[in-house]
């Protein structure tokens, strides 16, 4: 993470009923478990849509389909005591493989790091039980829904 420049990232929200597929993270400085849809840094010359397709394949080995743009969030935060700044392109998509929709959690990888990705109830974030990042994402996923997602919840 460069401290003097915003990092462009793209993330993908995948839904199953009233759940979303998220990566679990832990900030030991804040003693906080938090969640974020999977995705990562947009590489030079790469479109955000292509980033989420690549990242989910790398992280959980699952191809995506029906990838569509939801919006953008500017996320200024502190993680592990260090400041961060991201410009986040937010997409929504579907897994091609239906089996992952019936799997409560999977072991995911980012390089040598291993983390858990799991299905979480959207209501757990709405009621404040767990933080969902980036800032502004929850507002995109809860009423009033964007038109194209109303029939999917």
Task: For 9-54, write each residue's pLDDT tens digit.
Answer: 999 999 999 999 999 999 999 999 999 999 999 999 999 999 999 9
Within a domain: 146: no
Q: What percent of the chain has pLDDT over 90?
A: 76
What's the CATH code of the domain at 43? 3.90.79.10
Give me the pLDDT at residue 81, please. Answer: 84
Rounded CA-CA distance 113/62 in Å is 18
The answer on pLDDT for 148 being more than 50 is no
Within a domain: 12: yes
Phi, psi dihedral angles at 41 (to 5 degrees): -65, 135
Task: For 113-125, write each residue's pLDDT tens digit.
Answer: 999 999 999 999 9
Rounded CA-CA distance 111/96 in Å is 23
Q: Which domain holds residue 57?
A: 7-132
Task: Specify the number of domains making up the chain.
Answer: 1
Within a domain: 150: no
User: Which of the two residues, 117 and 148, has the higher pLDDT score?
Assistant: 117
Give me the pLDDT at residue 76, please. Answer: 84
Within a domain: 89: yes
């Amino acid at each position: 993470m460069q401290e003097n420049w915003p990092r462009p990232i793209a993330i993908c929200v995948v839904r199953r009923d009233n759940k979303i597929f998220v990566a679990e993270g832990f900030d030991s400085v804040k003693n906080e478990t938090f969640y974020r849809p999977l995705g990562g840094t947009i590489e030079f010359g790469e479109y955000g849509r292509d980033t989420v397709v690549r990242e989910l394949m790398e992280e959980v080995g699952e191809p995506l389909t029906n990838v569509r743009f939801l919006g953008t969030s500017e996320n200024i935060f502190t993680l592990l005591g260090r400041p961060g700044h991201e410009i986040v392109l937010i997409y929504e998509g579907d897994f091609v493989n239906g089996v992952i929709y019936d799997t409560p959690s999977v072991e995911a990888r980012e390089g040598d790091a291993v983390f858990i990705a799991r299905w979480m109830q959207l209501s757990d974030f709405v009621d404040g039980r767990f933080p969902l990042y980036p800032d502004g994402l929850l507002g995109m996923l809860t009423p009033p829904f964007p038109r194209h997602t109303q029939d999917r919840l």
